[in-house]
Amino acid sequence: MNSVNLKQLARELNLSVSTVSRALRDSWEISTPTKQRVFDLAKKMNFQPNPYASSLRKHRSRTIAVVIPEVANNFFALAIKGIETVAREKGYHVLIYLTNEDVAEEAAIASSLQSGRVDGVILSLCGSSQDTRHLLELQQRNIPLVFFDRVSEGMTAPKVMTNDQESGFIATEHLIQAGCRRVAHLTISMSLSISNKRQQGYEDALRRYDQGVETGMIIHCGKDDAENYRLIRELFMSENRPDGVFASVEKLAVQVYHVCRELGLQIPRDVKVISFSNLVTASLLNPSLTTIAQPAYDMGKEAATILFRRLEKKYIVVPEDRVMLPARLEVRDSTMA
């Protein structure tokens, strides 16, 4: 336990606790020589102010929460890195919570954050969130909330996102231009706006190139990998199997590769594949995977920057800001004509 506190410093220096406290915050009310004495002793005794006493008194914890569906995913890992970088720069601490794509866990976490443990929250919705009451309660407690990537359309809060619809269009168009005539779309939870937008882009592209939208070509995947594998396998074994696949998230692309391997289908000859993904190994896959890569690190930094702007400015309250960071198409072998 850290036992050196203001009282001890004060006694040692023959000063009052308040003077020591003020000296350490470099207040103008304290004379330079006194400040120096205080600084010196504090350093010598390795004084570390108790953050909890301070938080209790100031009603601010200099701590934020990052709530994400999973971490073993390059996108979220990079986002965390971006957030942590900005946070440490600003002297903030970062609590991490994983929802495991489970709305009940997300709600429990949000509820526990109502205690005032954190000054603000950066969140990416889990796939099964349809109801955002637990997040509204956070806002009602005046705890700022910033969304990134998987944002809530319904809520008024800053959002850091990518151009999902446009990217969905570009991905699908890319497949069509590579010669695909039956493009399938693998998506996750339809309660997520990113999924809807990516699918919207997919449908826009199909219509634009006079290809019909077939519901059978849109596969709704979930959080169970084995089940996803089964669904994809079924798709590829069907009468009219697709000759192109647009995967909404990277883990689905991985499953596509596995299924193709099992069924002896060759990418890109038999089926072309493109996916939203931040895999570092995309270019080393067999075949290398064409991706739509999101600027994950920058999205994390941006979300954190917006949050800290809110936390630090008291007067100007911007009700909502949206930042759109563009994703990049990286063409590789999996979509070769």
Partner DNA sequence: TTCGGCAACTACAACGTTTTCGTAAATAAA
Partner DNA sequence: TTTATTTACGAAAACGTTGTAGTTGCCGAA
Question: Residue 29 interacts with DNA (CB under 7 A)?
Answer: yes
DSSP 265: P
5 binds, among its own copies, DNA, none (CB under 5 to 8 A by kind): DNA
User: Measured between alpha carbons, how far is 187 from 245 in angstroms, rounded to an integer?
Assistant: 11
Nearer to DNA, 17 or 77 (CB): 17
Q: Is 110 exposed, middle or buried (0-12, 13-18, 19+ CB in 10 A)?
A: buried
CB of 51 to its own copies, least distance (A): 5
**Sign of the torsion angle spanned by Cα atoms 211, 212, 214, 219:** positive
Binding window for DNA (CB under 7 A); candidates: 6-14, 93-101, 104-112, 244-252: 6-14
Q: How far is CA 149 from CA 82, 136, 152, in A?
A: 14, 18, 9
Binding window for its own copies (CB under 8 A); candidates: 11-19, 179-187, 194-202, 277-285: 277-285
User: Measured between alpha carbons, how far is 103 from 291 in angstroms, rounded to an integer?
Assistant: 28
User: Measured between alpha carbons, how far is 258 from 256 in angstroms, rounded to an integer?
Assistant: 5
# residues near its own copies by CB under 8 A:
53
Give the residue, chosen from 44, 45, 54, 177, that forms a contact with DNA under the rule CB under 7 A: 54
H or E element that contains 68: strand 63-68
Question: Residue 16 interacts with DNA (CB under 7 A)?
Answer: yes
Q: How far is CA 89 from CA 30, 152, 298, 301, in A?
A: 28, 28, 15, 11
Give the residue, chosen from 11, 18, 40, 322, that forms a contact with DNA under the rule CB under 7 A: 18
Give the residue, chosen from 287, 299, 301, 302, that forms a contact with its own copies under the rule CB under 8 A: 287
User: Measured between alpha carbons, how far is 73 from 80 in angstroms, rounded to an integer?
Assistant: 11
Give the residue, chosen from 245, 279, 306, 307, that forms a contact with its own copies under the rule CB under 8 A: 279
24 binds, among DNA, its own copies, none (CB under 5 to 8 A by kind): DNA
Question: Residue 53 interacts with DNA (CB under 7 A)?
Answer: yes
DSSP 205: H
Residue 80's nearest CA partner among 99, 100, 94 is 94
Nearer to DNA, 21 or 334 (CB): 21
Question: What region, left, alpha or beta, does residue 230 occupy, with left being phi > 0 and alpha being psi -120 to 50 degrees?
Answer: alpha
H or E element that contains 107: helix 103-112
CB of 113 to DNA, least distance (A): 15
Q: How many residues does this entry show for the chain?
A: 337
Nearer to DNA, 261 or 313 (CB): 313
* Of residues 56-115, those binding its own copies (CB under 8 A): 56, 59, 61, 63, 70-74, 77-78, 80-81, 84-85, 88, 93-98, 112, 114-115
Question: Residue 34 interacts with DNA (CB under 7 A)?
Answer: yes
Give the residue, chosen from 22, 159, 174, 185, that forms a contact with DNA under the rule CB under 7 A: 22
Question: Residue 209 interacts with its own copies (CB under 8 A)?
Answer: no
Question: Residue 3 interacts with DNA (CB under 7 A)?
Answer: yes
Nearer to its own copies, 1 or 316 (CB): 1
Give the residue, chosen from 11, 31, 181, 222, that forms a contact with DNA under the rule CB under 7 A: 31
Query: β-pairing, 290-293 with 328-330?
Result: antiparallel
Tokens read off for 281? 């190994």
The residue ranges that bind DNA (CB under 7 A) are: 3, 5-7, 14-19, 21-22, 24-25, 29-31, 34, 47, 49-50, 53-54, 56-59
